[in-house]
């Protein structure tokens, strides 16, 4: 039997809990460290690019996209940008390799 999952917004509820779905608006309201944890565990890394000398990772999570920006001089996350639509793939597609037999 599948257990019904839900998301948790308060920091007390966040600790040690698993989520499998949530709206982008609720994701935005979570702490940066908890959002990072969710991306690591449940997100799908779609690509990487550099913007203004900073590494930016693109993830898909729960039906929306998240761009993760890192500090220039470290591997620490500086901010995240949540996109529900209108995502530009510019900069991410240069690293995509398609098999030759696809053409």
Give residue 16's region: left, alpha or beta (phi > 0; psi -120 to 50): left
- What is the tally of structural domains in the chain? 1
Percentage of the residues of the chain whose pLDDT score is greater than 70: 65
Residue 81 has pLDDT above 70, yes or no: yes
d(CA 36, CA 82): 12
d(CA 9, CA 100): 46
- What is the span of the domain harbouring residue 39? 11-85
Bigger pLDDT: 17 vs 68: 68
Instruction: Evaluate whether residue 32 is within a structural domain.
Output: yes
- SS3 string of the chain? CCCCCCCCCCHHHHCCCCCCCCCHHHHHHCCHHHHHHHHHHHCEEEEEEEECCEEEEEEEECCEEEEEEECCCCCCEEEEEEECCCCCCCCCHHHCCCCHHHC
Instruction: Evaluate whether residue 69 is within a structural domain.
Output: yes
* Mean pLDDT of all residues in 13-19: 47
Q: Which tens digits make up the pLDDT trace of 24-56?
A: 999 999 999 999 999 999 999 988 888 888 999
Instruction: Evaluate whether residue 31 is within a structural domain.
Output: yes
Q: CATH code at 77?
A: 3.30.67
Q: Which tens digits make up the pLDDT trace of 85-98?
A: 766 666 666 655 65
Instruction: Evaluate whether residue 25 is within a structural domain.
Output: yes
d(CA 57, CA 35): 14
């Amino acid at each position: 039997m599948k257990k019904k999952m839900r998301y948790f917004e308060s920091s007390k509820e966040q600790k040690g809990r698993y989520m499998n779905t949530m709206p982008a608006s609720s994701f935005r309201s979570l702490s940066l460290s908890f959002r990072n944890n969710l991306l690591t565990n449940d997100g799908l890394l779609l690509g990487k690019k550099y913007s203004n000398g900073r590494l930016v990772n693109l993830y898909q999570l729960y039906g929306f996209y998240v761009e993760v920006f890192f500090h220039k001089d470290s591997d620490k996350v500086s901010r995240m940008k949540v996109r529900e639509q209108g995502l530009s793939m510019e900069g991410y597609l240069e690293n995509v390799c398609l098999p030759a037999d696809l053409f």
